[in-house]
């Protein structure tokens, strides 16, 4: 069994669903848990109660673990600092951050929800995760150790009726990639999660009765994969994992070879577009620096004959 003895984890949105399952999984393996959950609705605006977080604390304590409850609502720098301070006050350090808290609204056409509702979804899913990452960073940097898992969603590939949620979850991929680059030399590893589980989010966003087939995809099956990403055994960073239903797999952004011609024109693209779209020799692009190197290398192969002596950098 993976051992988390002596480690402290913050799990946001840990009162229910995947967050709760993750807090329990880490707690069973010896981690001390700050259970954060404002206790309100998945819509991000319905008021909540501390009782939701406390119930999970009670579960962890009942099995011999250590945990503390926090009912702060994520979404601001001030609340992020309060959450980190609560963990440090209770347990003296923070080794793990699982940015699980999130929320959305029922399906809407992209211009139909209110601006206030859109901003609420962005705060909860994106700003909250980014601020918590920023506030926990100095603690992990001083320790020269940390594990961070940020929760995105496969809806970033395109999902009707969830524009704000999709925008927020797409942003998560970007902040994770940047944090992974800065964190590796500090001993801080950062990965991103596409989860798949039957939770209240399914009941509150999907048409009634349409997702019954999904029930075997339990939160616990996601939590076990997340627990590995939080462990000392994990050496991956800057990667994206699709976890759910017993499946653990890596996803990524890929780029193909395409074609290069210094005389590129719209008409040429029309003639060669399938060559530009061909993904048979595509490779994963881990970060922007690699993408730029790869892009410039492809250009140089075609442009070098047009460069006069002294022009090469």
> For 233-252, how does the pLDDT look when each residue is reduced to its tens digit (9 = 90+)?
999 999 999 999 999 999 99
Q: Is residue 313 part of a domain?
A: no
Shared-domain flag, residues 178 and 287: no
Helix (H, G, I), strand (E, B) or coil at 127: helix
The whole-number pLDDT of residue 109 equals 66
* Strand bridging mode 240-244 / 247-251: antiparallel
Judge whether residue 311 has pLDDT over 50: no
Residue 3 forms part of a structural domain: no
Any idea which residue has 């406390």 for tokens?
54
Residue 55 lies in a domain: yes
My answer on whether 143 and 279 are in the same domain is no
Residues 20 and 139 in one domain: yes
Closest to 24 measured CA to CA, from 50, 71, 58: 58
Same-domain check for residues 127 and 228: yes
> Residue 44 is part of a domain; what is its CATH number?
3.40.50.720
120 and 92 belong to one structural domain: yes
Q: Do residue 132 and residue 82 come from a single domain?
A: yes
Q: Are residues 48 and 173 in the same domain?
A: yes
Q: Which domain holds residue 221?
A: 8-251
d(CA 139, CA 135) in angstroms, rounded, equals: 8
pLDDT in tens, 20-72: 999 999 999 999 999 999 987 666 666 667 899 999 999 999 999 999 999 99
pLDDT at position 113, please? 76
> Looking at the domain assignment, is residue 215 inside a domain?
yes
Same-domain check for residues 195 and 274: no
Domain final residue pick, 207, 234, 251: 251
CA 249 to chain centre: 15
Write down the pLDDT at residue 198.
72
- For residues 6 and 93, what is the distance between their CA atoms, to the nearest angstrom? 10
- Name which of 3-7, 146-150, 155-159 the model is least confident about: 155-159
Do 283 and 266 belong to one domain? yes
Q: Phi/psi of residue 18, each to 5°? A: -65, -40
Judged by average pLDDT, the poorest of 42-51, 128-137, 287-296 is 42-51
* Rounded average pLDDT over 273-290: 95
Asked whether 213 and 166 are in contact (CB, 8 A), the reply is no
| Positions marked active-site | 165
Percent of the chain clearing pLDDT 90 (strictly above): 72
**pLDDT cut 70: percent of the chain above it:** 85
Q: Structural domain tally of the chain?
A: 2
Is the pLDDT at 159 greater than 90? The verdict is no
What is d(CA 78, CA 228) in angstroms, rounded to the nearest whole number? 30
């Amino acid at each position: 069994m993976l051992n988390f003895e002596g480690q402290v984890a913050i799990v946001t949105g840990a009162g229910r669903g995947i967050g709760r399952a993750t807090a329990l999984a880490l707690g069973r393996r010896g981690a001390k848990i700050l259970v954060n959950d404002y206790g309100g609705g998945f819509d991000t605006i319905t008021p909540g109660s501390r009782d939701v977080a406390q119930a999970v604390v009670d579960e962890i304590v009942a099995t011999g673990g250590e945990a503390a409850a926090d009912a702060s609502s994520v979404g601001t720098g001030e609340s992020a600092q309060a959450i980190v301070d609560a963990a440090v006050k209770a347990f003296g350090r923070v080794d793990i951050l699982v940015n699980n808290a999130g929320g959305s609204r029922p399906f809407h056409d992209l211009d139909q929800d209110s601006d206030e509702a859109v901003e609420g979804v962005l705060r909860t899913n994106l700003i909250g995760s980014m601020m918590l990452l920023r506030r926990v960073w100095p603690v992990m940097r001083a320790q020269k150790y940390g594990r961070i898992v940020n929760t995105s969603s496969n809806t970033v590939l395109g999902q009707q009726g969830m524009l704000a949620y999709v925008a927020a979850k797409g942003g998560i991929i970007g902040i994770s990639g940047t944090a992974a680059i800065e964190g590796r030399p500090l001993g801080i590893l950062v990965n991103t999660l596409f989860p798949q589980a039957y939770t209240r989010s399914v009941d509150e966003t999907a048409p009634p009765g349409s997702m019954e087939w999904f029930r075997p995809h339990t939160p616990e099956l996601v939590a076990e994969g997340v627990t590995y990403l939080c462990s000392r055994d994990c050496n991956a960073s800057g990667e994206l994992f699709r976890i759910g239903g017993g499946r653990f797999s890596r996803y990524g952004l890929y780029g193909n070879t395409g074609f290069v011609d210094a005389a590129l024109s719209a008409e040429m693209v029309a003639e060669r577009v399938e060559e530009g779209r061909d993904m048979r020799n595509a490779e994963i692009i881990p970060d922007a620096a690699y993408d730029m190197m790869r892009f410039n290398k492809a250009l140089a192969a075609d442009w070098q004959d047009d460069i006069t002596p002294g022009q090469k950098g």
